[in-house]
Structure formats: C-alpha cells, structure tokens
Structure 1
Amino acid sequence: MSGALQDLLVNLSAASLAFVAGRSFGRVRDLWRFRDTRGFWRPFATPDLKMVTSVFIEGEQYIWERSGLVGVGDVLAIHELRQQLQRTGVSHLPLTPSHQLTGSERRGNLILVGGPHSNRVTAEIVQRLPLTYTFGPADEHDARITDSRTGEVLSPQTDAHGQLAVDLGILVRAANPFQPGRHVVVLAGSFGFGTSAAARLLADPDFLNNPLVSGGSPFEAAFSVEVVAGEPQRIDLKELRPLDTASRRPAGT
C-alpha cells in the first residue's frame, strides 16, 4: 500500500470516527437536555394516545368553513406538543377533532387541546374531575376562571384598543375518568393564547422539576400570559395544586 493511500485511509477513518463521536455527543446532549420532558410524557407514549383539538363547527363558523375551524393558538400548541412528544419517541400522532373522537378512543391516553367551551371532550373530562379552577358558562361565553377554593375570579384583560393583553389558562394532568390506568392532560386557555401558553409551560424546566409535576401526581395549574403583538409572551404561574383524587365530581355538575 502506497503512503498516499495509507494517509487517505487514515484520514477517512479519523473523519468517520469524528462524525460518529459528534452524533453520539449530540444524542447524549439531547437526552440530558430533554430528560424532564421525556419523564413527563413517557406514561402517555402508548398506541392508544390521541391528541384532541377544539373545532368550531356550528352556526356561522360552519358556513364559512364546512370542515370546521381551528384557532391559531391551538395550532401553536399542537406544534409545540408534537415537538415535545417526538423527544419521547412518539414520531407520529394524528390529530383528532373533538367531535370525531369515538367512545372507545375516550378510554385511551388523551391530550386535550382547548377549553370546555370549544372542545367537547375537554368539557366531558373536566366535569368529571374535582377541579378547583373552572371556566364560566359556555352559553354566556364566559372566559373567566373561578377559584372555588378562594372565590377569586380571574378575568382576561384588554388594552385601550380593545385588544387582548392578558389571557388566562388552566393546565391539568389527571387519571382518565373514563378508564383507570390511562391519563389525560388538559391545556385550556380562556382564548387560544392561553392554550398555546399551556403547551409552552410543559417545556419549562422549572415547572417540570416541581416535585408535584416530576413525581407524576395529578395536578391542576392556573396561569396568566401576557399577549404582545398577537403572540403569547411571559407566563405567570398563579398556582399549582395537587388534584384531590379521593373525590370525583359527578357528571353534569
């Protein structure tokens, strides 16, 4: 073997080793960086996992678009959630509009995007959970959140031009009331900005490292989010509480 050929093979081998080492380092770095995200979502990574979104299909909404309408905030939340789930190994997760989820699919692991006013599955789930944070009546389009423990009422805020300046939301992790052994996560904003912020909250290391969250316990959280130039910005976590799993709210109450 000539010296030139030997040098070429040595250089190729060195380059290959460097490439493999670089990829391995990147893989290890990502495993460490996203360990909290994977820890949260790992129990959800089952074949029956469904992501269920709000859809507007009634009245004037249906006239404008017969397939139904989905809010921009929900779309942003879905994008963020899919990125998080990919880090857990869930590479393909079809989107299911809430009105198309079957009875048997309700018994799987569920990620519910959107509040009870626009996502009928969210409405079914939250009325069966012992939540202390609840939205106002849907028929009154009441986007306020009431804390039944303190009586405090949180309200979205608008600026001098009538634009939304502060949105609200709740984030819930609980056992699926339709199926023991399965789980639900509810991301519900007063408006779409709050729903998008709930997804971002699930990527926040400080939130994920809270013992209540990292331990896999059922919880409910209430938060506000500043809205600037049509984008959700700083999230203010109001309260993070354990869910009282000893009680269950009867359906319809």
Structure 2
Amino acid sequence: MSLELVINLVASFLAFLIGWMARTLLSYYRSTRPVARLWQVNRHAPVTAVVGDHGEGRLLWEADALAAMNVRLSLARELKIHSIKTVRASAFSMAAHAEDNVVVIGGPAMNQVWNIYADRLDIPYEFKKVDDLYRIVAREGDESFGGTRGREGGVKQDSGLVIFAWNPFEPGNRLIMMAGCGELATLAAPSTFSPEYARKIAQRFDMSKPLALVLSVEDVNDYVAKPKIAAWAYFPQPTVD
C-alpha cells in the first residue's frame, strides 16, 4: 500500500470522525441537553409514571395513557432512559414508588397521587371545580384558567398545569406533574419535553428552581397547535443537604 493511499485513507477517516463528532455535539446541544435540563432525572433511581384511573372498574383514562406513552418516548429517545414503570394511581405503592423519580399524569379528580405530592409542595396554582368544570386558579390573586367543553366554530380550548420540582420524599430525585382541566391539555402537556419546546423553556427559565407552568392549548378542527405558556411562577421548596 503506497504512502499516498494511506494518507488519503487516514484523511478520509479523520474527516468522517470530525463530521460525526460535530453532528453528535450539535444533536446534544439542540436536543438532548435542553430536554435533560427539564427532566433532571436521577439516573441512579427508578422512574415511575403514575396515570389516573377512576370508577369501580378503575377505568384507565385514554388521555393519561397516551400522555404516559409520550413521556416514555421522550425519556427513551432523548435521554436513553428505557426502564420506566407505568402504574395506575389505584395501584401506586408508597412503599415501593414514593421515593422514585416520579411523573404524575392527571389531576386530582382522576389521580389521587396528585394530591399526595401537591400537599407537600407550595405550588402557586391548583385545580378547582367551578360550575361542573375544572379550572386552574392562582392561590394568590385572581388568575384563573380553564377551557371550553364544546366546540364553537370548530375551536376547542383547554388549560394545563405542568410542575417541575423535586420529590419531597427523596429530594435527590425528580418530580414532574402534568394535567389538564380536560383531556386536550393532558394530551398536549408532554410536548413541553420535545427538543424544540424544551430548548425555549430552558433558555427562558431557571430550571434549578421549582417551576409551575400554566399552558393554554387550542384545537382548531382537530389541529392541535403547540401549547402556549399562559402563566408561570417559581415556588420555594426546602432542600435536604
């Protein structure tokens, strides 16, 4: 093999390696890094997603199940976390799962685990039932966010709440809570963890602080636009050294 051929082969290999590294770094900074900043999962602890169920037959709500699937896809695709356990609220075991990285999907009406964690946090927003519909209301002030039950001109609107916090039972692990006043916002909430949306959130907010986001979601003739941030607030959470 001639020296010139060896040099060409080495140069080609180096060019390939540099290109691969550049693409990998670009993907990391554009996709993996912002998503990781939102999740901040402790990789040494399990991840458990809790979905709402309701009624004597413990019906699993379709919106919660689909949202859980999207959560699993986000963790697997962007963070390469594949061992994610999904349990129904009625089967959630405090002894087995309370200290995990916990993802609560579905609000207090359908998921009793929401209140278990919310009662131990100073979340600035809460769900309240008003005239047979749930709304997200500020604990201080008069802010209130809801949705429309039916469609007017093919348009349906809903509001959702996403909480980024630390697990109060094990502060080294992550707690994410997401729910909508209706199913539309519950389905849309996991989109905040898409690389594009996560990048915008990570640039705008200090993700080292517990954060509550109120989302506004619109369905126009079955086209669901990306949720918009209608309100937000940091909240204090004691940490254990």
Q: TM exceeds 0.5?
A: yes
Change (3 A) 1:24 1:176: same
Aligned to 1:209: 203
Deviation, 1:134, is: 0.9
Residue 179, structure 1, aligned to residue 170, structure 2: yes
Q: 1:167 aligned to 147, 158, 161, which one? A: 158
Residue 229, structure 1, aligned to residue 221, structure 2: yes
Change (3 A) 1:69 1:141: farther
Deviations 1:48-99 (A, max 9, x none): 221111223x14xx2xxx7x3232x334422332232122231231222122
Q: Provide the C-alpha distance between the structure 2 equivalents of 1:36 and 1:197, rounded to a whole number of angstroms.
A: 19
Q: Which moved more, 1:19-28 or 1:195-204?
A: 19-28
Q: 2:35 aligned to 20, 24, 37, which one? A: 37
Normalised by the size of structure 2, how large is the TM-score? 0.79
Change (3 A) 1:175 1:30: same
Change (3 A) 1:21 1:78: farther
Return structure 1 stretches of 4+ with deviation > 4 angstroms. 9-25
Structure 2, gaps ≥5 residues long: none
Q: 2:71 aligned to 68, 81, 95, which one? A: 81
Matches of residues 6-45 of structure 1 in structure 2 within 5 Å? 23-34=20-31, 35-45=33-43
Aligned to 1:119: 111
Deviations 1:118-161 (A, max 9, x none): 112112211222122111149x8541111122123222124337
The structure whose Rg is larger is: 1
Normalised by the size of structure 1, how large is the TM-score? 0.76
Q: Provide the C-alpha distance between the structure 1 equivalents of 2:110 and 2:16, rounded to a whole number of angstroms.
A: 49
Aligned to 1:242: 234
The structure in which a higher percent of residues are strand is: 2
Q: 1:193·1:231 contact (CA, 8 Å) conserved in 2?
A: no
Q: Provide the C-alpha distance between the structure 2 equivalents of 1:77 and 1:20, rounded to a whole number of angstroms.
A: 38
Deviation, 1:192, is: 2.1
State the percentage of identical aligned residues. Answer: 22
Change (3 A) 1:211 1:236: closer
2:121 is aligned with what amino acid?
L
Secondary structure of 1:115's aligned partner: coil
Q: Provide the C-alpha distance between the structure 2 equivalents of 1:164 and 1:148, rounded to a whole number of angstroms.
A: 29
Residue 148, structure 1, aligned to residue 145, structure 2: no
Change (3 A) 1:49 1:167: same
Q: 2:106·2:114 contact (CA, 8 Å) conserved in 1?
A: yes
Aligned to 1:135: 127
Aligned to 1:196: 187
Q: 1:174·1:243 contact (CA, 8 Å) conserved in 2?
A: no
Secondary structure of 2:36's aligned partner: helix
Q: 2:185·2:217 contact (CA, 8 Å) conserved in 1?
A: yes
Structure 1, gaps ≥5 residues long: 247-253
Q: Provide the C-alpha distance between the structure 1 equivalents of 2:192 and 2:215, rounded to a whole number of angstroms.
A: 9
RMSD: 3.0
Q: Provide the C-alpha distance between the structure 1 equivalents of 2:13 and 2:65, rounded to a whole number of angstroms.
A: 41
Secondary structure of 1:118's aligned partner: coil
Deviation, 1:207, is: 1.3
Secondary structure of 2:25's aligned partner: helix
Deviation, 1:212, is: 2.2
Change (3 A) 1:164 1:20: same
